[in-house]
Chain A
Amino acid sequence: MKGLWRGLLTLASLLLVWQSVVTLGDLPPYILPGPWAVMLALWHHSESLLRHAGVTALEIILGMVLGTLLGCGSALALGYSRRVRRWLLPVLIASQAIPVFAIAPLLVLWLGYGMGSKIAMSMLIIYFPVTANFYDGLRHTQRGWLDLARVMLPEPRRWAVLRHIAIPAALPALASGLRIAAAVAPIGAVLGEWVGSSAGLGYLMLHANSRMQVDLMFAALFVLAALAVGLYFLVDAGLKRLLPWHPAIPETEID
């Protein structure tokens, strides 16, 4: 409860600062609208905001799901086979040198103006954090557990050890990857929409911007932020439920 009040107080102060900048600087609404104007825009355009938010949300979620599947698959292949590791790992790392921003126009060219290119963008942007975190987890299985399995198994069986020990042990690491993914997936979708689209919050923002509807732009930005934060907390809560055995990080403060 205390946290809620503190949050509201912070929000109120930020709004106050925002309003003072507008009032004191005598800024016209097409440069920086005040918070009240943005609230009104949220209200007036609620229907179209909701429709475009739905499109963006679907792109993000599909991108998350597909990117997670692809990332987990890659990490498992890397963890299972030395040959895959030797060939794929350098490619994977090199691929991170190419900014996703740079290939967005290409994706739109190949996959069209529809949802496909945005889903692909989200996928690409989360692929690396998911793969890297999960693979890292798979590589760092506690040695004692592996020893125990070695003694229990008459002959080495990599898949059994992977399935019953290494994969479950790597799930907390995968969870960290998924939290990062939840935070960056919206960036991918909106980026795709900016490059070329006919629906979605990114499209709406670009459209509003070109018509000097800065209040609508801010409203769209607000909805996008709410969407991203909501997604993050949803994923975080879901992961905590799924991994009850994983020791929660004790809350320590650094002063």
Chain B
Amino acid sequence: MIPIRFAPVPLDLVAPPPLAVSLRTTRLVYGGLILFDGLDLELAGGCFTCLLGPSGIGKTSLLRLLAGLTPPGVSGELRGGDGEPLTGRVAYMAQQDLLLPWLNVLDNVMLGSRLRGERADRKRALDLLGRVGLADCALARPDTLSGGMRQRAALARTLMEDRPVVLMDEPFSGLDALTRLRLQALAAELLAGRTVLLVTHDPLEALRLGEHVLIMNGRPATLSILPDLPGIPPRDPGDPAVQAAYRTILRRLEAA
């Protein structure tokens, strides 16, 4: 048994060089419905973008498409800002924490290396666990953790992959309000410098976290961009600018 140091070592989370993402003329037909047709999406490199839209509009399909989990019946062109494919440069975090129940938290964080048959950087994994406040739970089984702790472990696993692009599918929607606020702040801090696309149906979450906010609406769905808000995320939900933008979004969603 190798002794493990639990004290988190301060670690500068240097993000990889920013990478923009571009998706052109995408068409997706799902179950006879044209979800989108000729959709273009540009994600600025190193920016936190939130994608907001009602349920069932195709947000998750778009995210899965970017993640390379291509649904059947799709066509379009997906490239990184350098013109190369995105494969291997994306990390993915879902609404479920997707922790493997038979592995302890530390091994879950190192799952990527394990799958690729690489030597896992144990020290880095422990550091990351410290950053998300789970230093004492490294050897715990996931089923002994609360929902918020599990999602923090999932965040550490996502960061462990150290990819320039991070795709998140409503990662905080299953949590209680206070835990959600804390996790949003943590995610904004730790993901800084990466190209993030966070899908959500909660306007406040999008306004709190997004440097840019995209709204997806209609059928076939189209994207529109919201004017950028002042201030650096995570913004205070009580901020007047946030409140004003919130009303704008509601109007826009109702109008569609």
Contact = CB atoms under 8 A, between A and B. Distances in A.
A164 B87 contact: no
Interface stretch (A121-129, A146-154, A205-213, A215-223): A146-154
Interface stretch (B94-102, B206-214, B234-242): B94-102
A157 B135 CA distance: 32
A149 to B, nearest CB: 6
Contacts of A171: 102
Contact of A150 (B68, B91, B101, B143): B68
A161 B91 contact: no
A160 interface: yes
Interface in B74-131: 87-88, 90-92, 94, 96, 98, 100-102, 111-112, 114-117
B115 A164 contact: yes
Interface string A134-177: 00000000101101111111110100110011001101000000
A243 B96 CA distance: 22
Nearest to A147: B69
A247 interface: yes
Contact of B141 (A147, A157, A164, A245): A245
Interface residues of B, number: 24
Interface residues of A, number: 25
Given A151-B68, A151-B92, A145 B115 contact: no
Contact of A245 (B90, B102, B112): B102
B115 A157 contact: yes
A168 B100 contact: yes
Nearest to A165: B100
A151 B91 contact: yes
Contact of B87 (A142, A154, A165): A154
Interface centre among A142, A147, A157, A160 (most CB of B within 10 A): A147
Nearest to A151: B92
Contact of B98 (A145, A168, A243, A244): A145
Contacts of B69: 147, 150-151
Nearest to B167: A151
A153 B116 CA distance: 6
Contact of A160 (B64, B68, B101, B117): B117
B161 interface: yes
B100 A151 contact: no
B100 A145 contact: yes
A198 B158 CA distance: 64
A123 B199 CA distance: 52
B156 interface: no
B65 interface: no
A233 to B, nearest CB: 24
B105 to A, nearest CB: 12
Contacts of B88: 154
B167 to A, nearest CB: 8
B116 A245 contact: no
Contact of A247 (B94, B115, B143): B143
A249 to B, nearest CB: 14
B112 A152 contact: yes
Nearest to B88: A154
B153 interface: no
Contacts of B94: 144, 147-148
A148 B64 CA distance: 11
Interface in B115-163: 115-117, 141, 143, 161
Interface in A225-255: 243-247
Contacts of A246: 101
Contact of A151 (B90, B101, B102, B114): B90
Given A164-B114, A164-B115, A148 B98 contact: yes
8 contacts: A147-B64, A151-B68, A152-B111, A153-B115, A153-B116, A164-B114, A168-B100, A246-B101
Q: Which 3 A-B pairs have the closest CB atoms?
A: A154-B88, A151-B92, A152-B112
Given A155-B87, A157-B116, A246-B101, 9 more contacts: A144-B96, A147-B67, A148-B111, A151-B92, A152-B116, A154-B116, A164-B111, A168-B102, A169-B100
